[in-house]
Chains A and B, each alone.
Chain A
């Protein structure tokens, strides 16, 4: 049976396109966190050191809505978000909202502290580790921000710089979900 080379080429192109789409979808799923089962599940717990040597455990913030922001001193887009975070902490903090910054940096603690001071940061900055980054899907791009509801469940993830209104929407949703703890720590 004679085969038309054009048809064969078309079939080959179709197979390649499907492979391409498959790779893309897998990577997009990873980027959205869905491939790691993060959205809708409990935020992976961790205990990390703050800039002044104290330790903060994520699960200790249960009852509060948490914005978990992975950032670095070398990251320009992260710098744009920080003043918004300062305002949002002031605005929504009294309702039981807490921002936690996780510095995924090679810079020294002193440099990170200097940077945070220059930015007027009013929320705790933790010194991130590779293993914590891995537990949140690798955190390959910065900023990456997770929104955790009062029950400790991740309700959203944002990758890269977003508009302030996107943050506000997620914060409101995180505050409205789960049970508030009366005696806040």
Chain B
């Protein structure tokens, strides 16, 4: 019974503090667990990373409409085994906010997905590799903005062995009669 009571307090207080963290004091953007993408040696693959903007907040898209706004940018650290290619960002939504009803800002709200192109070197040993980076973003709500933040990002890439090159047809041996 005591265990039940302690568990209930623990769970409910955990829920309570989780609710509180959703406010401006907590992180405005979180990353969903990234899928493990399999990439073949020497071949490119795209890793989709999903980020979630806390309810009531928005972050600038990668292409905000003003030079003074801070874009959302994912920086992926270079690795020795995997070539990091182009990062693709979704289009933001043009939205007006209470603080500037006549102005449209290009933002991300809710979930948004960023794609990272990876290409393992041909010489890399097959296995699981961790890639790290940071997502820089700057969040606002309807009445205030919060300083730019850097969210640590990491994802796994499973490198598979390249299939053996197709065999060229053996030379036809002349029919022996």
Contact = CB atoms under 8 A, between A and B. Distances in A.
Interface of A: 3, 5, 8-9, 11-13, 15-17, 19-20, 23-24, 27, 72-80, 104, 106-107, 111, 115, 140-143, 159-161
Interface in B24-80: 24-25, 67-70
Interface in B9-30: 9, 12-13, 15-17, 19-20, 23-25
18 contacts: A3-B1, A9-B8, A11-B5, A16-B15, A17-B12, A23-B20, A74-B68, A74-B70, A75-B144, A76-B145, A79-B100, A106-B148, A111-B68, A140-B25, A140-B147, A141-B24, A159-B144, A161-B99
Nearest to A26: B20
Contacts of A106: 148
Contacts of A115: 68
B95 to A, nearest CB: 11
B129 to A, nearest CB: 33
B157 interface: no
Interface of B: 1, 4-5, 8-9, 12-13, 15-17, 19-20, 23-25, 67-70, 97, 99-100, 103, 105, 138, 140-141, 143-148
Contacts of A8: 1, 4-5, 8
Q: Tell me the dominant secondary structure on chain A's binding face.
A: helix
Nearest to B69: A74
A121 B20 CA distance: 37
Nearest to B140: A76
Contact of B100 (A13, A23, A76): A76
Given A15-B13, A19-B16, A24-B20, A76 B147 contact: no
B93 to A, nearest CB: 15
Contacts of B105: 76
A20 B4 CA distance: 20
Nearest to B105: A76
Contact of A76 (B20, B67, B97): B97
